[in-house]
Amino acid sequence: MLKKAILGVFVIFAMSAPLAPAEAAERALRVAVLSHSPPMSYVDASGELTGFNVEIMLALCDAMAVRCEPVGVTLDRVVDGVAAGDFDFAAVSLLATPERRARVAMTKPYYRSFSVWFARPAVKPGAGRVGLVRGGAQARYAQGHGWATLMLDTHDAVIAALAAGTVDATLLPMPTALAIQQDVRIRALGLTTTVVQDAELSGDVCLSVNPRDPALLERLNEAIDQIKRDGRFDRANSRFIPFRLQ
């Protein structure tokens, strides 16, 4: 069982199941999570943190037989926090770019992704004002290509900016783009979608790990294999995402 509490923008969970003496003495792992990025990780209407990556995190921690304390952060804080050792790992979907690999350890891929251009009709990729989440591969891509951008903290803020007409388009990871298509604020806008499979925007998605803890990296890789074998990965996939991640 899990007891859930939200403290401002921080969301911390504590496992309350009885632990063996050796397990109880082990330090709880601090895990960075996003709290405004549906369907991957978000706070639902009842105030609980949920989503695909949250389910994966819980399954991985269970497979490793460790206690975990998820801590809510914004996307732009993830790599910095993991690199500094503020978090043991991040349950956040990150493309395994060379820049990220230079700063943090990355697990084996747990799925592959691409990016989706979401825009008002006739607004082509790179045109108009583009709303993006700080710290994402999509934000770095847009800035590197000189796009007119509005940087925001969360995917919820991107949805609000699209609905308000503050931005003309956005570039999103595939699962988030699918979730936004279902948002009632977005459906009435008649936005068009274009898959963008540039090498900088597609590829292996991994979890980031404290680079000073190679033992944890090995355990997480083993746990990823385990939850894929025993069906927990597929069950989380089916619950939150309407297509099969690979």
pLDDT greater than 90 at residue 66: yes
Q: Positive or negative, the Cα torsion across 79, 240, 109, 143? A: negative
Place of tokens 């891509």: 141
State how far the Cα of 89 lies from the Cα of 177, in Å rounded to an integer. 25
**CB neighbours of 225 closer than 8 A, spacing ≥ 6?**
108
**Could you tell me which of 11, 4, 10, 17 has the C-alpha nearest to residue 67?**
17
- Look up the pTM and report it: 0.83
3-state secondary structure of 55: helix
Banded pLDDT at 242 (limits 50, 70, 90):
confident
36-37 and 41-43 beta bridge pairing: antiparallel
Rg from Cα positions in the chain: 18
> Is pLDDT above 80 for 146?
yes
Q: Are 94 and 173 in contact (CB under 8 A)?
A: no
- Using an 8 Å Cβ cutoff, are 237 and 244 in contact? yes
- Torsion sign across C-alpha atoms 202, 204, 206, 210: negative
pLDDT of residue 246: 74
What are the structural domains of the chain? Answer: 2-111+204-240 (3.40.190.10), 115-201 (3.40.190.10)
Least confident of 135-139, 208-212, 224-228, 239-243: 239-243
pLDDT of residue 151: 97
Instruction: Give the CA count within 13 Å in the CB-facing half-sphere of 183.
Output: 21
